[in-house]
Amino acid sequence: MNVLEQIVLGWHSLLFTLRHLTSRAMWLPWLLLGIVQLSIVAAIWWFAHPLVSWLMAPVLRRLGGEEVLHYPALFRAMPALYARADFVVTAVLGALAAGASTALFATALETHDGGPRPNGVAGLFGALRRALPLIAVNLPLNLLVVGFAFGLETWLAGRGSSGIIHKLGGFVTLGGALAIQAFFLYGTAWVVLGRKSFLGAWRELPHSAARGYWAALFLGILATLPLLPFQQVARHVQTLVSRGRPELAGWLVVAQVFVTLLTAFLLTGAITVVYHTSILRTDEEHGS
């Protein structure tokens, strides 16, 4: 398919996913992930509570120094502190949620042909059985995107770049991250639906990129747009604190968790439809 055809397929895949937005079974993997993420936010917010202070106080002190243990410095550092913890959660539990969700959306596609209805619990157990390849196949994406962004920001800071250069660097970082993400997005589908090992899935990525890269890039851009305002506000969290409203920084992180779960749900579902339609089915028709 050419670029335009892939974008059209990506759009129709997103519309299919939106039709399942109120399905409880489809949301189960993301609900469990969200509970863990919100628990982390709560543990940072109320780190001084006796139930968690024995763990959270030393961790926060190590990550942010003694200052973050005092009000309102904690809220100034909260977006960054949560981002560090969420990187690990996303790399492990996020990969499992994406795997379970991929299986559920594939079942939803088959339901239209008279197949069984999606079962959230069955999807979760299926992802657990494929836990190691799911985590491994997504790890390069997580590391490359973070490494790319961190490396560029460090390079710009080291050169003492102007505000305009920093803004341009932000666009380059975002564009580079989206380009990398689009190449790796089909990895989960190869593991869950293609029954590949993580090495086998990596070997198939050029194949899936040749048939669906532009659809993945288009969907990745759409999924990123709702998150941009949160990232922009997070960069100015100091302003919230200085104006005497530090708790808003905490609520900003809570809102970001919900929006991130929604975009992950939509992106995973749409990518599954593209994979099933443009890659898996085409291979089956050609007997590969």
Four-CA torsion 86, 91, 92, 93, nearest 10 degrees: 60
Of 127-136, 153-162, 256-265, the poorest mean pLDDT is in 153-162
Element (H or E) spanning 137, and its range? helix 131-158
Query: How many C-alpha atoms does 188 have within 13 Å on its Cβ side?
Result: 36
Sign of CA dihedral 242, 54, 79, 160: positive
Q: pTM for the whole thing?
A: 0.88
Sign of CA dihedral 196, 199, 203, 205: positive
Collect all residues with Cβ–Cβ distance below 8 Å to 84 and sequence separation of at least 6. 63
> Mind listing the pLDDT tens digit for each residue in 162-195?
556 556 666 777 788 889 899 999 999 999 999 9
Total residues belonging to the chain: 288
| 159 pLDDT above the threshold of 60 | no
Q: Rounded to an integer, what distance in angstroms lies between the CA atom of residue 82 and that of residue 36?
A: 12
Site of tokens 């593991």: 191
Distance of CA 135 to the CA centre of its chain: 13
pLDDT of residue 187: 95
Q: pLDDT band at 115, cuts 50/70/90?
A: low
